[in-house]
Amino acid sequence: MKILIIEDDQDLCRLICHSLAKAGYDADSCRTGTDGLFYAAHQAYDAIVLDRMLPELNGLSVLEALRRQGISTPVILATALDGLHDRIDGLDAGADDYLTKPFAVEELMARIRAVTRRPANLRTTPVLSAFGMKLNPDSRELDCGGICLTLSKKESALLGYFMKNPGQTLPRAIILSYVWGSDWEGEEGNLDNYIYFLRRRLKALNAPAKLVTVHGIGYRLEEKGP
């Protein structure tokens, strides 16, 4: 089960992510409303924990934008604003639950369990298709012409991002933020390593697509020429 945490308090964000990992959840995190909207709009999550007071774009604006786009992922709105009208505004904007700060992480975990077990929220991630390939993000199986390979978690996330944006040049920084998270502090060379791994996968499948290096910018998934 995958959870998105949109929270600008770095210590709180790490605490929540650590607790989710211990409970067996897979968590992504970001600290601005703009990044949060981007993550939520480009990847399927089982629930979103959304801070109301965020830099760049506030939580209510993020929530309203998601609902306008038809994204029905359960959202728990977390905020220090505890007035009646604040709660009403949050619920009217599309929140499924409302949690007032400061809160115990154990209570947040219980609320996540509650919103994710509601029958209306049971869903599978759509299969991605591009250039004759099909990728199932849940099983991480990549199929091309009847030949199937199982990708690693990072390979699947990376290729899935390219398949959602076929033919588009994706900047390195955006790819790293999407696949590894906005607070990742590792080596950028990890991206190049995984591009190499994916190129080998595509070659093994004799896929009609290739990953192209756009020097000084990033990478692009495009159809092979004749």
Banded pLDDT at 95 (limits 50, 70, 90) = confident
Distance between CA 10 and CA 185 in Å, rounded? 14
Q: Look over the chain and give the mean of its residue pLDDT values, rounded to a whole number.
A: 85
Give the residue-averaged pLDDT of 69-92.
77
Hey, which bits of 86-196 come out as E strands? Answer: 97-100, 128-130, 133-136, 141-144, 147-150, 169-171
94, 59 Cβ separation under 8 angstroms? no
Which of 122 and 55 is assigned the larger pLDDT? 55
The secondary structure of the chain in percent helix, strand, coil, rounded to multiples of 5, reads 40, 25, 35
| Residue found by looking up tokens 């502090």 in the block | 185
Give the residue-averaged pLDDT of 205-213.
94
Distance between CA 113 and CA 96 in Å, rounded? 12
Tens-place pLDDT, residues 153-208: 889 989 988 998 899 898 888 888 778 765 566 677 889 999 999 999 999 999 99
Complete domains list, the chain, with CATH: 2-121 (3.40.50.2300), 128-223 (1.10.10.10)
Q: What is the 3-state secondary structure (H, E, C) of 110-129?
A: HHHHHHHCCHHHCCCCCCEE
Element (H, E) at 189: helix 189-205
Give the residue-averaged pLDDT of 200-217.
94
Question: In the prediction, which pLDDT does 121 show?
Answer: 42
Q: How far is CA 179 from CA 92, 116, 118, 218, in A?
A: 32, 23, 28, 14
| Sequence-separated (6 or more) residues with CB below 8 Å from residue 207 | 131, 132, 133, 144, 224
Banded pLDDT at 125 (limits 50, 70, 90) = low
Question: In the prediction, which pLDDT does 149 show?
Answer: 92
3-state secondary structure of 154: helix
* Residue 83 clears pLDDT 80, i.e. is over it: no
Question: In the prediction, which pLDDT does 65 show?
Answer: 85
Minimal CA–CA distance to 3: which of 92, 60, 78? 78
76, 96 Cβ separation under 8 angstroms? yes
Question: In the prediction, which pLDDT does 177 show?
Answer: 77
Question: In the prediction, which pLDDT does 57 show?
Answer: 87
Q: How far is CA 225 from CA 13, 207, 210, in A?
A: 45, 12, 10
81, 39 Cβ separation under 8 angstroms? no
Q: What share of the chain in percent tops pLDDT 70?
A: 91
